[in-house]
Chains A and B, each alone.
Chain A
Amino acid sequence: MSVDLFFTNLLYGLTIGSALILIASSLSIIFGVMGVVNFAHGSLAMLGAYLGYSLILWKMNFWVALIISPLVVGALAMAIEGFTLRPLYGKDPLLQFFLTYGLAMIIGNLVLYFWGSDPHGIDKPILLQGPTSIAGIIYPKFRLFVFIFSAVLAIVLWLFITRTTWGIILRAGIHNRELVGAFGINMSTVYTLVFALGSALAAIAGVILGAMRNINPAMDLDLVTSGLIAVVIGGLGSFRGAVLGAFVIGLSESFGAQLWPGFSKFTVYIVMVAILLWRPEGLIKEV
């Protein structure tokens, strides 16, 4: 592989990873704080993508869709958390898993009902269409935007978690929920907000990915699978781990397709198994 091709693939791998950061980190935060493996996370991202698509069809632009779609999905997530997840806290975690699996089925069928089975595409903003050149490498402008946007959002989230009072509450809640409750903090509200925030981030990812790829009713499974792999690789419940895991997936996909073309789909799984054998707790064991 030439140096040129190596750097090209490195760049593409980082971009694929950066698009997954929002899915993986929000999945990780929900698991870390609430202890819920949210199988419906990919479906909420898909719903975000479809809402974004419809908003653009209704003559709104990409940027408006990028704001409104997560707000709608976030509001829906608050209702989902309040009416379905809340009664199951403290019970067998399998019940939560089955519930979110059922929610994924319901959302998937609603998408089929309202938008049909045909694939759709979200138009990119005109400013971000076409390629640009970075140090001689032809690179799509929109991917550069995704890379920067995801990085900025990840940093903002990181600062939120590590530097704000709410972030401290979140981290404390992961370690000892009862103790946080004993300080008079309403953990129910915290859970609702975390689930809504995580789902809104998934919807943002959905809109962005919908502009990079097509949107279709089967995309939810791909998204939640990639998100879960990133979380497992990075370390369950770890924000930094999820970011790292997303990049590992991106780079595995990018270099896997070059080096082992026949096995490119398995490369990610091979890397995951190797990492888990080496560090069963994932790459990073912290919030």
Chain B
Amino acid sequence: MEKRGKNKTTDLARREFLKTMAALGAAATMGSLAAPAIARGADKPIKIGLILPYSGGSVTLGLRAEQGVRYALHLSKYRDRVKFLVEDSREDPAVCVEKAQKLVEREEVDIIIGPTSSHTALAVSEYCKTKKKLLLLVYGGNPKIAGENCSRYTFQCGHTTYSVSAPGVSWSFDNLGKEIFLIGSDYSSGRDICGWFKEGYLKRGGTIVGEAYPPIGTAEFAPYLSQIQHAKPRPKLVAGFLLPVDTIDFTKQYAEFGLKKEGIPIIFALGVYNLACLKAAGDPAEGMYDIIHWTPTLPHKENVEFMEGFEKFAKMEVEDAVVLGYEAGTCITYGLDQTGGDPNNEKLVDAIAKRQWVGPRGKCSFGPNHSVMHTTYIRQVKRVKGKLAPMAIKDLGLQTTPGDATGPGGQCKM
């Protein structure tokens, strides 16, 4: 009995085992037919690598953009699957490529976000192209990425330097002054933006009274301000682009040197007069202008809800960088929604390319070169309830960066 009983137990266990295996096999087969996404990666963790500036001249952007991305994913159903890996871009192309290699080849991330400056973005985009890795650029508005260096795997979610500078040139000419002094940080974005101002002004009969290209990280602008002081004829406007931290010093010293008092305004591209900059620059920034795609006072529902939600989530003010981080984050969640949660890059790319949405910035979509179309505004720094804030004073309409021969970055061939 004992022996038989033992055998019975063994037989039962074996039968149970076989039944269980059969059931599991059937379930697996059924599962692969009924819910293909589960078997193909819809449940696996989604690794997102962030290469953003946490030091240097664009330090104000890094943490904010990261929080924007985190907020977008926090609102989605993927928030428990997401793992963020954060790297400091140090605004150095070589460092950025090294970080991208680490993230892609060692950490095996699914998606990369960043970096922010034009030259670093181009370097990482070229690397991601070779690895067929999805890259979402928060800033990184190098027009070449929308043109001859475009990539199927890269999306310029924020803007290009062209889309947030060139549309404001004619407005500046008509409203601020026809004699212009150009100043730009000495790298591709600074020189490109000054180039578009120069081209636009010369085409319309304006005068370029001087140009200066201080190195990135310049803290002492006296030598350049003395050039503006001595420029003849007297400029009616100073325009171009300096990195955000450099803009603070330039603006403070500009007022110190009496140029603000002389009534010569500054207009800078890329929305450098953001709240962080205004807090550090203080009164000298009041009355100055910038060109960008968003401002906190945009009244549409998507912006108002986003601002309220984000401020509760992160306990920090919304800035341009937060918005761009959020928009890049929603590109990921949108893409995942379309692929059933599968982070497969080929499917994500196809999905994101078709995206049209209304976000905090208003209507947006991607062109065939994967460069975003957005509304561009002229903002002026005004005092609102005792605090300085960049206020939209002119809507320049929807803007994009063409990826054909007419575009600033040449012909895009995917």
Pick from B59, B63, B215, B222: contact of A254, CB below 8 A: B222
Which listed segment binds A: B132-140, B254-262, B377-385?
Answer: B254-262
Interface code B207-223, partner A: CB below 8 Å = 1, 0 otherwise?
A: 00000111101111011
Q: Which residues of A contact B (CB under 8 A)?
A: 2, 4-5, 8-9, 12, 15-16, 117-121, 123, 129-131, 138, 140-143, 212-214, 216-219, 222, 253-258, 261-262, 264-265
The residue in A130, A143, A213, A261 that gathers the most chain B C-beta atoms within 10 A of its C-beta is A213
Question: Which residues of chain B come closer than 8 Å to A255, judged between CB atoms?
Answer: 223
Minimum CB–CB distance for B95 against chain A, Å: 15
Q: Identify whether the interface residues of B are mostly helix, strand, loop, or mixed.
A: helix
Interface code B10-45, partner A: CB below 8 Å = 1, 0 otherwise?
A: 000000000000000000000000000000000000
A148 to B10, CA, bound (A): 98
Question: Which residues of chain B come closer than 8 Å to A138, judged between CB atoms?
Answer: 229, 257-258
Which listed segment binds A: B174-182, B276-284, B297-305, B363-371?
Answer: B276-284
CB of B220 within 8 A of CB of A16, answer: yes
Name the residue of chain B whose CB is nearest to the CB of A123.
B282
Q: Which residues of B contact A (CB under 8 A)?
A: 54-56, 59-60, 62-63, 186, 212-215, 217-220, 222-224, 226-227, 229-230, 245, 248-249, 252-253, 255-258, 261, 276-277, 279-282
For the complex of A and B, the 9 pairs showing the least CB-CB separation, nearest first, are A257-B223, A131-B258, A140-B256, A12-B222, A214-B248, A121-B280, A265-B215, A119-B280, A213-B219
A5 to B215, CA, bound (A): 21
Minimum CB–CB distance for B183 against chain A, Å: 11
Minimum CB–CB distance for A263 against chain B, Å: 9
A12 to B245, CA, bound (A): 21
CB of B245 within 8 A of CB of A216, answer: yes
CB of B186 within 8 A of CB of A117, answer: no
Known: A254-B222, A261-B213. 16 other contacts (CB 8 A): A15-B222, A121-B282, A129-B256, A131-B257, A143-B222, A143-B256, A212-B220, A212-B253, A213-B253, A214-B219, A214-B249, A219-B219, A253-B223, A257-B224, A264-B223, A265-B218
CB of A257 within 8 A of CB of B55, answer: no
Question: Which residues of chain A come closer than 8 Å to B256, judged between CB atoms?
Answer: 129-131, 140-143
Minimum CB–CB distance for B282 against chain A, Å: 6
CB of B249 within 8 A of CB of A213, answer: yes
CB of A4 within 8 A of CB of B230, answer: yes
Question: Which residues of chain A come closer than 8 Å to B54, judged between CB atoms?
Answer: 117
A255 to B224, CA, bound (A): 10
A211 to B224, CA, bound (A): 19
A120 to B411, CA, bound (A): 42
A234 to B277, CA, bound (A): 36
Name the residue of chain A whose CB is nearest to the CB of B223.
A257
A163 to B202, CA, bound (A): 64
Minimum CB–CB distance for B238 against chain A, Å: 16
Name the residue of chain A whose CB is nearest to the CB of B224.
A257
Question: Which residues of chain B come closer than 8 Å to A264, judged between CB atoms?
Answer: 214-215, 218, 223
CB of A2 within 8 A of CB of B215, answer: no
Minimum CB–CB distance for B382 against chain A, Å: 19
A-B residue pairs in contact (CB < 8 Å), sample of 14:
A8-B229, A9-B223, A12-B222, A12-B226, A117-B63, A119-B277, A131-B257, A138-B229, A138-B258, A213-B252, A214-B219, A214-B252, A218-B55, A218-B59
